[in-house]
Chains A and B, each alone.
Chain A
Amino acid sequence: MRLVQTLIVVLISVMMRLDSRMFGRLNFERPLLTCTICGLLLGNLQVGLQVGATMELATLGMMSIGASGIDMNMGSLVGCAICIMTGADIETALTVAVPMTLLCTLLDTIASVIRINFTHMCDNAVEAGDFAKAKRVDIVYGPVLYVLFTIIPVFLSVYFGADVVQSIASAVPAWITSGISLGANIIAFFGFAMLLSTMVNKNTVVYFFAGFLLAAYSGLGLTAIALIGIVLAVILYTVKYVGVNNRPVAETNASSLDDLEDLDN
């Protein structure tokens, strides 16, 4: 049973890894989706949704652009799987995710050295006129390496980690677990701040406050806020870019009104 569950999680981790490698990053690597699928397949959708929402929230701002940023996706999935398999609290997922993320960063350093070698293999293959091999290095070796460096830690940590986590989780007092849960909520603000820092400047900070105040005072949900935000952006776009060029159109409207008057006569 444990083995089957672990293999299911391994399959989800393959999807998670390949999402950004071969599917242009469709967000199937994000905790909200991986944890939900994990919950669905391991038979506890509610836990999957809760862990997914919590982890997604904590990591929402952590963009992985190029080499920078940290990747908590694998940690989230493993944490969620262990939560479901052991029946531990949702907070447990978080405590699993953080060390997993450190491990991930370490492993990726090793993988990145291998990938540089792949690039040189590619160069040499082209030099030797072996184009099929050059292509194979990119489209087969690259993804396979990524997948291997994902499924091995995922398999080991889910298969053997569950017992360890269970014994630790039952020993930890409640004030620490609720403190960790508070910590996760604080991390979310770190994420919001990272997003903000890439987008905000003196001229645009007002839109942040517009969204904040509307949500804080009205209690509207985020779907409403998102839709209002899009509409606001379109309105301001029209005012700024279309408005200026609109004058000739206004004149034609006026002349067509004249035509209508002529018809009346």
Chain B
Amino acid sequence: MSLKGLEAQRNTPLNTKLKEIFWGAWCMQTNWNYERQMNTAYMYAMSHTIDRLYPEEDEIEKKKEAYRRHLEFFNITPQCAALTLGISAAMEEEYAADPENFDPAVINSVKVALMGPLSGIGDSLFQGTIRIIAMSIGISLAQQGNILGPILAALISIFTSAPITWYLGKLGYTRGQEFVRQMSESNLMEKVMFVCSIAGLFVIGGMSATLSNLTTPLAFGESFVLQNVIDGILPKAIPLGMTWLMYYIVKSGKVKPMTVIIGCFIAGIILNYFGILAA
């Protein structure tokens, strides 16, 4: 067993490795499949490290084994993949340095252990909070015909996603499992979820009051205009009611999304025709 590969890996500049991890993470969904989800993408992201570690002809079995290791089932929020990729790279390096005492099965069990919690945190941060904030600002400006809306939405998305991916990769590679330990000790996940759920829900509340306006044209004579009565008590009461009606439809889990969408169009045509609701 030559140490040439290990030397090559150690002599590769940190930034090169971090760039590989960064792009590997962003390319997590190149071949998303029902069988093992993001497995080939994980293998691709790890291939740079593995190729460096096992350069010799006689190490091909080791190399195959490492490739196979990273072809196992994997699924995560792409940005968060940087953290596991960093940890995996550091662990592959450790294993190559000390194949006698290091059990390679640990590499995969760390991946599997991190997958669930990191996806939960990643989806609520990127899809549930950052995207919602970026897009709701974007929509409200675009509705006024202002191109700044989409531009701001794009900038917010890029300048959160890129640095977070980069630093997660760096943390994973340089601090490895120690970081995971610290993360669980300091309740980091719980804290991020706490902040995300407050900011996210606050914005969703604001969204349901501002972005899509439903009013009622119902009136009895000129003296009783229903919308005026509603506005006097709780403006946007109809949007609020509609949000919770939909919430119970979603929660019941009985109706398929496509059915709801088509149902909304039919309901829209009927309610509009009889003058019950207006947008």
Q: Which residues of A contact B (CB under 8 A)?
A: 20-28, 30, 32-33, 36, 40, 45-46, 49-50, 52-53, 56-57, 60, 62-63, 65-67, 69-70, 98, 101-102, 105, 112, 115-116, 118-119, 122-123, 126-127, 129, 131, 134-135, 137-139, 141-143, 146, 175-176, 178-190, 192-200, 204-205, 207-217, 220-223, 225-226, 228-230, 232-234, 236-237, 240-241
Q: Which residue of B lies closest to A51 (CB)?
A: B142
Residues of B within 8 A of A213 (CB): 205, 209
B268 lies within 8 A of A183 (CB): yes
A119 touches B36 (CB 8 A): yes
Cβ–Cβ contact B30 & A142, under 8 A: yes
Q: Can you spell out 23 A-B residue pairs with CB atoms less than 8 angstroms apart?
A: A25-B29, A36-B142, A52-B150, A53-B143, A60-B207, A70-B258, A105-B258, A122-B71, A129-B60, A138-B41, A179-B271, A185-B212, A187-B265, A189-B246, A193-B247, A196-B243, A199-B124, A215-B209, A216-B209, A222-B210, A226-B136, A233-B199, A241-B191
**Ranked 6 nearest A-B pairs via Cβ:** A183-B268, A211-B205, A179-B269, A142-B31, A229-B202, A225-B206
Interface of A is mostly: helix
Residues on A with C-beta less than 8 A from B195 are: 233-234, 237
Inter-chain contacts of B90 with A (CB < 8 A): none
0/1 interface trace, chain B 169-212, chain A, CB 8 Å (1 if under)? 00000000000000000000001001111111111111111111
The residue from B31, B128, B138, B279 contacting A199, defined by CB atoms under 8 A apart = B128
A198 to chain B, nearest CB (A): 6
B147 contacts A by Cβ under 8 Å: yes
B contact residues around A45 at 8 Å (CB): 147
Q: Count A-B pairs with CB separation below 8 Å.
A: 363
Report yes or no: B206 in contact with A212, Cβ–Cβ below 8 A.
yes
B272 — which chain A residues lie within 8 A by C-beta? Answer: 175, 178-179, 182
* A186-B214 contact, Cβ under 8 Å, with A53-B149, A60-B136, A122-B71: yes
A221 touches B150 (CB 8 A): no
Contact assessment for A65 and B123 in the assembled complex, using a CB-CB cutoff below 8 Å: yes
Interface: B111 (CB within 8 A): no
B115-139 Cβ-contact flags toward A at 8 Å (1 or 0): 0000000011011100111111111
